[in-house]
Structure formats: structure tokens, C-alpha cells
A and B are shown apart, each in its own frame.
Chain A
Amino acid sequence: MAARTLYDKLVDAHVVRNLDDRGLVLLYVDRTVLNEYTSPQAFAGLRAAGRKVWNPKAALMVVDHVNPTSARRTRAMPDGAAARQVDYFAENARDFGIEYFDILDPRQGIEHVVAPEQGLVMPGMVIAAGDSHSTAYGAFGALGYGIGTSDIEHYLATSTVRYRRLKTMRVQLTGRTPLGLTSKDIVMEVIRRIGADGAAGYAVEFSGPIVSDMSVESRIVMSIMIVEAGARGVVIAPDQKVLDYLEGRPRSPKGEMWERAARSWLALASDPDARFDREVTLDVSEAAPLVTWGTSPDQAIAVTDSVPDPVGGPDRKAAATRALSYMGLTPGTPIQSIPIDFAFIGSCTNSRIEDLRDAAAIFRGRSVAAGVRAIVVPGSTQVRAQAEAEGLAKVFIDAGVEWRQSGCSMCLAMNDDVLRPGERCASSTNRNFEGRQGPGARTHLMSPAMVAAAAVTGRITDVRSMLGGLRQ
């Protein structure tokens, strides 16, 4: 058989049947995670057609987008519309027999944090879910990708989706990681180079020595964020680090079954002579921490640079001009001179324990600058508990940071964590779109450590000037 990429192998292993001769297949999907805002109309569709869920055990339902993150939250939702969504969500879980973590469940959190935490994500799986950041699962050697509500309904009714095979892109990361550079900076550098549609229509495989050296959580950051270059699926070959992460998780196989699974998983990789439709190589040795200046995730510069002049064709130039106007910035302004009002650490991109350790390393012994409001929203209730056990929560609180309950929170601001018009936020999220964190709000994307540094100085800051104990 011809050499195949890992992506091709995962798809081949899940084809129920071909639907045309152009790569449209009926693809079996092993798992999904459902949230309260992209699933209601799918369940309504099932109800209207009198259909059942094909395999209720393959799904998990988690409230994450609309829930408040206040310290003393209850099951009650202060917002009536959110309450109706959550009530309907719970009703659907009950009626269709699907496992459900409500907001007071100790296993609750952001779906892309919770699913790996519970051991629901395993190498070799195909996982499609109603959130664009479902590419997270690529970090485990699973094919993860996001789908819309109609496809959720299709999946629930059939355990399959209609799927068009993608082109493949390999992103090889080489060199030596400089101190202070995180996987968030690396993936932002990739996006900046290839553009906001540079991976559109591709499944991306990350590989190379930098990826091998990275923790699983750092790989998750890249797998999630490369969606901002349009990637429609992500895979990273599983290794011993993935096994170490998964072993002993609640839903991971045990005993002899674990041994068998582990052997099978470690064999999952692209063939050495497999061909990719596109190759991108990035030597990270000279890379610097990145910050976005505009309203598209590819509008980013090194923290040592200045806000650029709009460039490109007429429409791109117009978009950049509009972005500068929205962001209230002037070309030539050193990015480090820009003051912030708000610092947000959280979201499926950067809310895991390693992210909180990075941020705490900067906050330790320092305080949030006067006039800045900083909040940390852990990715799950378990991450929150671990951060408290490790003393990270105390570091945040001592520094004047608000220590919150878990949820998506200010990443898309569907709950009550919303910026006011004109407020400028250093944010560990991955979207800086107009209005994303609130109508008129201004978002600068960066790593959690960079957000912490900005919170401490009150302006965008090169974290390398305040280093101590950052992970690679």
C-alpha cells in the first residue's frame, strides 16, 4: 500500500462507505461533546423527526459557554435566556440518555478541557463536536474537528457525518526554543506566516523536534489555535507523553486492555515517506513572543515591534485600516507602549494547569497594576482544584487577580464576563474579532505569561524581561 499520512490512516479507519468518487465519505465518529448553545436546534430536529440518538454513550454534555464564573455560583442562571438554554440542555440529556455534567458537577468545565481530563479522548479516534476548537483532540493523535448544528443532529442520529477528505499540511517545528517562548507564540507565528486562511481546506499535522519536546498541554494549545488559520482538522502522532497523560484517567482503559491500547496507539504515525500536499517548516530559534494588533488572529507582531502600516491589496489594506481604527491604534506605535484596562487568562486555548503555572510564575511576588482588572478563569473545576492545591490560586489572589470558577467566560463573552466598549484587554484566548469580548471591546491575543506581564505593568510587556520559572 502507498505511504499514508496519519490523517489518511485515521480517515481510512473510519470510512463506513464512499458517497462519491471525489472523496466524500460517510465517516464513523467515535465521540462527541455537546455544549448548551450549538446543540439545542439539533435536539429539536431529532424530536421533530421522532429520531433517537444512535449511541448515547458516545456523547458527553457539558455546560460551559453561558455559565457565570462568580465564586459563589449556583445552578440557577441569572440570565433568563441562559437559564432556558441550560434547562433545555438538561432535558435533552435526560430524554436522550446522555451523560451530563452540570455547572456544579466536580467534572464540569470547558468541553475541550474536560474531555481529555476524563480520558474520553484517545489516540486513533475521530471526534467531531459542535465547537470550532474541537481540533484540540489532535494533540492526542485523534482526528478532532468542529461541526455545525445540522451535522451534530446528523451525528446524533447516525453516529456518522458526511465528510469530504481534506488536503494535508505538515507543519514541522525545528530549532531550539528560546526562553520565554511558549507553544502559543509558536502557533501564532505559524498563523502570522501562512495567514488567517493559510490552512483552509487542510488537515494539519504538527511534527518535528520542538513538538516532541512539548508537553501534551502545549500541543493542545497549538491544535486549538491553528483553527485560526482555517485548519479543518489537526493530528499529532501520539508518543509516550500522551500515554503518560492518559494513563489512569477515569475513562482510560485499564490493566491488560491498557497495554493493548497503548501498543496500538504508539504505532499511529505518518509513514516516513508519506507525502503532504503542503509543507511548512518553522525554525523557532529566533522567534519572539507575539501580540496581535488587529482584529484577525494573523494580525500579529513580535512584542518588540511597532504597530505596522496597513499593507496588501485594496480590500486587505481597507480591512487593516478598519482594524487599526477599531483597535484605536496608530502605525508606528511601539506595541509595548500600549496600556491595557483588563487582563484575561482563560479559554479552551490557555486555561489548563500549565498555563496557570506560567501565569503564576509572573504574578508571584508582584501585583496587578493600578487601574487594571485581571481575572483568571480555570478551564475546569478540576484545574481549579489543582491550582488551589498547588498554591497558584493564592499567588493570583495575593497579586490582586480575581480567581474565578471555570467556563468559557470572556473568550466569547456569552456569560456576564463582558468588556465595555473601548476597553482594551490582554487576553490568552485565540480570537480578537470585532466585538468578540464585548461590543467595541479591544482584544490583544498573547500567551498566558504575556497576559500576566501586561497585568503587572499595566501595558503590553515583553515577558522575557520578568522571567523566572517559565516552562518551555
Chain B
Amino acid sequence: MTPFDQVTGVAAPMMAPNVDTDVIMPKMFLKGVDRSGLGEGAFNLLRFSGGKPNPDFVLNQDGYRDACFLVVGPNFGCGSSREHAVWGLQQLGIRALIGTSFAGIFNDNCANNGLLTIALEAGVVVGLAAVVADRSRNDVTIDLTAQTIQFDRGRRAIVFDIEPARKEAFLTGRDFIASTLVFADDIRAFEARHRTENPWIV
């Protein structure tokens, strides 16, 4: 995955609660065997209507077309386990999501692909969304090393928490499978004991 250190860009507000993965990546884009074409799929039914860009959708509006961050409502990414949703957001250019809570599978999928999710108190998210709703103040810088979000033309900053293991993975763009296979002997030893204790599991 692409390492994430310091990224600056436009943040778009998308504050509806419970934005589900059916909305983020509609089903008609799920029939591939690879990851291609998912940028077109992301928010497709919201972005387009009758084949034309829907002017009501924030990412089609002046000042937000090149957004690389979304400021989102609670429980973002709920619903189906479809990693296509994360791949699609990335292909749309989204590098980080800032919100109050992210649904479990979706959040793990983001972490596994280098899409940073930052969870903050609801009031802080609402405040940030209000600032970036002003097109003249929608630039944001996320500095992962410092764990800060600078906004409002650099005048204000939010400090965020991230688990150390997750932070390191984002900074290094680590391959988790390779990291785990370092412990192959541990897995084999566990497996042998587990099967002795539960011989009906085959």
C-alpha cells in the first residue's frame, strides 16, 4: 500500500449518518475479478443522474472536485463487506476520512489499503465540516507523524489519536502478510496444540 505521511488537499463535507457501502460502491461495479474501474463506481448513483453529473452531489461542485479528504457523519461505511468501496474511494483520489465512527469491516479494509480513517469527537467533526463547507477555507493538511489535522488556512489544528501499530503501518506502507509470516513457526506451534485439544476440527 502507498505510505501516508503528510498530505495536503481539499476536504469535502459529507455529514449524513450511516452512509453504507451500497451507496459508496453500488452492486453493478462488483462483478470484476480485479480492482479496475472502481473510481467510476464510487458514489456512482449519487454522482450521476441520467448519465450526467448530479450538481447536488458535493464532489461535483466547484471547489470540491479534487477533494482528497471527506469529513463524514457517524457510522460511515456500514453494511456489506465490500472492499471495492475502499478501492473505489482511493481511485477517486480520497486519501483520508475524518468522522466520528466508522463501521468495523470497512475501517479494517481502509487500514489494509492505506486509506486513513480518523475518528474524533462529534463536536470536533461538526466544527471541521462547518469550516470546510466554506470553499475558501477547505484546504486541510493531515500530518500523520505529528498526528495533527491543520485547517482553516493553517490557523487551527486538531490533534488525533491513532493506535501505534496502525500508525506505523500507514507510515511504512507495510505488507501485513509478510509481517505475519515472520511468525510462521508460532502459527504452526499453535495449530498443533489447538488440534490436539480440539481433534474434531479438521
A binding-site residues for B, Cβ under 8 Å: 13-14, 16-17, 19-20, 22, 24, 26, 28, 30, 37-38, 40-41, 44, 49, 51, 54-55, 57, 66, 79, 81-82, 84-85, 88, 122, 124-125, 130-132, 146-151, 153-154, 157-160, 162, 196-197, 200-201, 228, 230, 232, 253, 257-258, 260-261, 264, 296, 315-316, 318-319, 322, 412-414, 431, 433-436, 439
**Nearest residue in A to B15 (C-beta to C-beta)?**
A315
Chain A residues with CB under 8 A of B20 = 296, 431, 433
Counting CB contacts under 8 A, is B156 at the interface?
Answer: no
Q: Please judge, given known A-B contacts A434-B45, A435-B23, whether A124 and B75 are in contact too, CB under 8 Å.
A: no
Q: Please judge, given known A-B contacts A49-B177, A434-B23, whether A253 and B200 are in contact too, CB under 8 Å.
A: yes
A151 pairs with B108, CB closer than 8 A: yes
Choose one: B22, B183, B201; the contact of A431 (CB below 8 Å): B22
- Other A-B pairs, 7, CB within 8 Å; known A197-B74, A230-B78: A28-B187, A82-B31, A124-B198, A125-B201, A151-B109, A196-B18, A200-B101
B200 pairs with A16, CB closer than 8 A: no
User: What are the 10 tightest A-B residue pairs by CB atom distance, in nearest-first order?
Assistant: A150-B112, A81-B31, A148-B109, A197-B75, A253-B200, A40-B33, A149-B83, A232-B104, A148-B83, A261-B200
Counting CB contacts under 8 A, is B146 at the interface?
Answer: no
In the assembled complex, the CB of A48 is this many whole angstroms from the nearest CB of chain B, namely: 11
A154 pairs with B201, CB closer than 8 A: no
B198 pairs with A150, CB closer than 8 A: no
Chain B residues with CB under 8 A of A149 = 83, 109
In the assembled complex, the CB of B15 is this many whole angstroms from the nearest CB of chain A, namely: 5
B180 pairs with A160, CB closer than 8 A: yes
Counting CB contacts under 8 A, is B191 at the interface?
Answer: yes
Q: Please judge, given known A-B contacts A30-B201, A159-B187, whether A319 and B33 are in contact too, CB under 8 Å.
A: no
Choose one: B30, B31, B78; the contact of A197 (CB below 8 Å): B78
**In the bound complex, CA of A158 to CA of B109 (Å):** 18
A154 pairs with B16, CB closer than 8 A: no
A322 pairs with B34, CB closer than 8 A: no
Counting CB contacts under 8 A, is B9 at the interface?
Answer: no
Number of A-B contacts (CB under 8 A): 185
Chain B residues with CB under 8 A of A66 = 31
Counting CB contacts under 8 A, is B63 at the interface?
Answer: no
Q: What per-residue 1/0 map shows which CB atoms of B12-52 lie under 8 Å from chain A? A: 00011110101100110011111100000000010000000
Chain B residues with CB under 8 A of A37 = 30-31, 82
Chain B residues with CB under 8 A of A436 = 22
B34 pairs with A44, CB closer than 8 A: yes
**Nearest residue in B to A130 (C-beta to C-beta)?**
B81
B109 pairs with A24, CB closer than 8 A: no
Among B17, B34, B78, B81: residue with most chain A CB under 10 A: B81
Q: Please judge, given known A-B contacts A44-B34, A146-B81, A316-B17, whether A230 and B75 are in contact too, CB under 8 Å.
A: yes
**In the bound complex, CA of A378 to CA of B164 (Å):** 46
Chain B residues with CB under 8 A of A51 = 177
Counting CB contacts under 8 A, is B91 at the interface?
Answer: no
**Nearest residue in B to A264 (C-beta to C-beta)?**
B198
Chain A residues with CB under 8 A of B198 = 124, 261, 264
B105 pairs with A132, CB closer than 8 A: yes
Among A19, A162, A258: residue with most chain B CB under 10 A: A162
A81 pairs with B27, CB closer than 8 A: no
**In the bound complex, CA of A122 to CA of B198 (Å):** 11
Q: Please judge, given known A-B contacts A196-B75, A296-B18, A319-B17, whether A88 and B108 are in contact too, CB under 8 Å.
A: no
Counting CB contacts under 8 A, is B163 at the interface?
Answer: yes
Chain B residues with CB under 8 A of A261 = 198, 200
Choose one: A85, A146, A319; the contact of B16 (CB below 8 Å): A319
Chain B residues with CB under 8 A of A258 = 200
Q: Can you list 15 residue pairs at the A/B interface with Cβ under 8 Å?
A: A22-B164, A37-B82, A44-B34, A122-B200, A131-B80, A148-B82, A148-B112, A150-B109, A296-B18, A315-B73, A412-B27, A431-B20, A434-B22, A435-B22, A439-B26
